[in-house]
Structure 1
């Protein structure tokens, strides 16, 4: 049974573990980052025509008062998982996007040119969404509700979580986690646990952050979602 390292933060890590178990893999949970809520100026909610969300974490960490102030506006979510989080948070009218931030921006741009939207987002995010909306004359008011920070784990704790046994594959979802994992792999005390591992990256940007790892050990998902990422496990590692 393949031992698969899951580096994403909770609650996604446990959800991924269940999917791996259902597919016959042995998940090893080692979140390398966590998401934390950011303090907000809750009086600074602008008059807007719509809300956009490209990460479920953006609504999970948004204050209830902020969501309540925006809940009646049309909400454009990047994909299914984010749309579910928006509905659970209280948004009344949620449109499920194509799963890609750039494509969502193009759709919003055609509909809302000349208007302003509220964008619930993280401190670290891809610029393409806002850049495309700006090019389409949509004014974006970004409200950063969360940040992603690296966890500081000692070598002994990491080795214990891995049961001091090598892993066959590592799932890497973000550039921050990729950088953290690269640092772990270089640790003399841990190197042997990753000697034969394949590193499966959610996107080319994530793969680029796997600094110092042999490129022949890196695989990139065909599209930036977990279905495509887990599909890599069915290929020769």
Structure 2
């Protein structure tokens, strides 16, 4: 059975591990980061005509202040982010499965102009077009100490799932080039794949960033 190493933070790591198990593969979770809530200043809700979140962590970690924006049209990138927003009391969340630029274009098309984007300290590039976007960081990703068990569990033939460029960089720091030749990478994007460095047995990234697209590549690699 092919072993799959899931490197993303919880709770997403658990969801991905369950999906990997449904493919008949062995999943081992080794998060490289953990999300941490930040203090943030609450801008008036009336200054905005839409709310955007591109990460489920933002919805979970923004805190009680998030309730002030429930009256705004709400947009999310990805079903997990939309579900986390609904769990915080947002009704009618509009979700997109592509990237942030795509949902930004949709927000503009639906007539909104001033958008509050609650996010992490590190975000993927987003083309805002005609939108005026105010981005506020409500969480950060804290690097976890290197875990020696990661190298022990990454047996020859294992596939490592990399969900961000930062994760790729951390992985490259922890796995020496001489230890990469028998390990495969499936990354969420070409940028994340490039951050992993060279020397791996193979490297793959989907055309569109998403867990399902990564799992499709994983399934093809393991057949």
- Settle same-fold status: TM greater than 0.5: yes
1:203 matched to which residue of 2? 189
1:158 equivalent in alignment to 2:158: no
1:220 matched to which residue of 2? 205
Query: What secondary structure is seen at the aligned counterpart in 2 of 1:105?
Result: helix
1:147 equivalent in alignment to 2:133: no
Cα 1:8–1:167 change in 2 (3 A) is farther
TM-score normalised per structure 2? 0.90
1:78 matched to which residue of 2? 77
TM-superposition CA deviations, 1:147-167 (whole Å, max 9, x none): 122211243x4345x2x7445
CA shift for structure 1 position 203: 0.2
CA shift for structure 1 position 16: 1.0
Does the CA-based 8 Å contact 1:56-1:81 persist in structure 2?
A: yes
* Structure 2 counterparts to residues 87-106 of structure 1, below 5 A: 87-106=86-105
Query: What secondary structure is seen at the aligned counterpart in 2 of 1:142?
Result: strand
Does the CA-based 8 Å contact 2:204-2:217 persist in structure 1?
A: yes
Please tell me the root mean square deviation across aligned C-alpha atoms, in Å: 2.0
Which runs of at least 4 in structure 1 moved beyond 3 Å after TM superposition?
157-160, 164-167
TM-score normalised per structure 1? 0.85
CA shift for structure 1 position 61: 0.9
Cα 1:228–1:98 change in 2 (3 A) is closer
- Mapped to 2, the partners of 1:208 and 1:31 lie a distance apart of 19
- Mapped to 2, the partners of 1:24 and 1:17 lie a distance apart of 11
Does the CA-based 8 Å contact 1:4-1:167 persist in structure 2?
A: no
CA shift for structure 1 position 236: 3.9
Give 5+ residue unaligned stretches, structure 1. none
- Mapped to 1, the partners of 2:220 and 2:150 lie a distance apart of 27
Give 5+ residue unaligned stretches, structure 2. none
1:126 matched to which residue of 2? 124
Does the CA-based 8 Å contact 1:86-1:94 persist in structure 2?
A: yes
TM-superposition CA deviations, 1:22-43 (whole Å, max 9, x none): 110001111111111111123x
